[in-house]
Amino acid sequence: MKITVIGTGYVGLVSGACLAEMGNDVLCLDVDAAKIQALEAGRIPIHEPGLDQLVHRNAASGRLHFTTDVERSVHFGTIQLIAVGTPPDEDGSADLGHVLAAARHIGHHMTDYKLIVDKSTVPVGTADRVDAAIADALAGRGVTIPYAVVSNPEFLKEGAAVDDFMRPDRIIVGAEDERAILMMKALYAPFQRNREKLLIMDRRSAELTKYAANAMLATRISFMNELALLAEKLGADIEHVRQGIGADPRIGYHFLYAGCGYGGSCFPKDVRALIRTGAEHEQPLRILRSVEETNAVQKTVLIDKLAARFDNKLSGLNIALWGLAFKPDTDDMREAPSLSIIEELFRRGASVTAYDPAAMNEARRIFRDDPRLRYADRPMQALAGADALVIVTEWKEFRSPDFDAIRSLLKHPVIIDGRNMYEPELPRSAGLEYHGIGRR
């Protein structure tokens, strides 16, 4: 198949590369000329395991191409996959400007049948608006050309996006048009050879499914974070509680880890967008409001623990920070807990020495040349002369540290662990004060 992918951000680039890997001829469009030049030169703008090899292999094979030419991109693909950003507006709603602009461009330039696939995360009813935008553009040209619009939300986890696309647990397609459904079945046939994973539904249900999935996962995280704070008051251990409730097959173990809050480009934005959608339709989503409030509070918990340990006197301290990305295996710092923690430490007069295996360039972009934030080349280097260690991201290389070395490097033998990476007895046996989230 010939496929145009509109947008070379996280979703677009992963989708385009994976579709090319299955033998499709894919053209990726972006209006950012610098990004397209970088991709053509083999430079990948995001950190995602396995993506660079996938892009390089398929570009070299001639199946994956890049362009800034909108008209060329519309003529190229029978399938037009929209994967542009939907950043939040000030009121929390999703900004559909890029999505609708892409739809209008398709309507302005198309000369034969097109299947338009909404891959971006969008509010319920967006497929109808895309449909109308294309119809208006065609009417303005005075032509009638057949097309169909389907909703096909992505379910890619940052840090595992390539594997998620290549081995999906489900493929949601919102469509009523039989030709469109047949084309979507053909498109995804190579990704579901062992069993049927395609779920066909109406477009609005498909759009709501994406928001509902992320909202449910965010809810589980905030629920466990609230329970963890209660466990601390009660003298219980949240890890034991997690294992106990996770053993119930109706609950399961996924997304039951207490920590310092969720971040990234999906959960915060999608929760807010769904809350806004409910408000617009006079159906308040009270649970999700609590989820959002709980997450905001949870991002301050590590600061509270640190302040309590140092009698609220953080001014002049240097804090070692392990982890800047909102989760492992990505360089994404959008709404990461590390941002709230660093800013609050600065406000209280402390400085920070940070280490992250992927996100330090992104941190430099965000904080520029702020002298209060320094960067270490290795985890242990960040500890030299620091007053305490705060762990924010659960990178694998932090799992088995030399606790004796940590104790010798820190001015005060204090670990504040925002991801419950260690059994408390291990650092404590090395003479370290260990403070987790909800641990006894």
Q: Which residues contact 275 (CB under 8 A, 6 or more apart)?
A: 92, 285, 288, 289, 292
Q: Where are the alpha helices (DSSP H) in 41-149?
A: 51-60, 70-76, 97-109, 126-141
CA 22 to CA 43: how far, in whole Å?
A: 22
Angle 411-417-421 from CA coordinates, rounded to 5°: 120
AA letter at 223? F
CB atoms within 10 A of CB 275: 22
List CB contacts of 307: < 8 A, sequence separation 6 or more.
Answer: 314, 348
How far apart are the C-alpha atoms of 246 and 249, rounded to whole Å? 7
Known catalytic residue at 18: no
Find the angle CA(80)-CA(31)-CA(73) to the nearest 5 degrees. 30
User: What's the DSSP call for residue 94?
Assistant: B
Backbone angles phi, psi at 213, to 5 degrees: -65, -50
Length of the chain: 440
Q: How far is CA 55 from CA 44, 45, 60, in A?
A: 8, 11, 8
Closest alpha carbon to 275 in 205, 219, 204? 219
Instruction: Please state, in angstroms and as integers, the Cα–Cα distance from residue 156 to each residue in 7, 75, 206, 262, following that order.
Output: 16, 28, 15, 16
Q: How far apart are CA 214 and CA 222, in angstroms?
A: 12
Written as six digits, the tokens of 275 are: 């809350």
Q: Are residues 379 and 355 in contact, defined by beta-carbon separation less than 8 angstroms?
A: yes
Distance CA 21, CA 3 (A): 12
Q: Which segments within 108-197 are labelled E, that is strand? A: 114-118, 147-151, 171-174
Which residues are identified as catalytic? 266
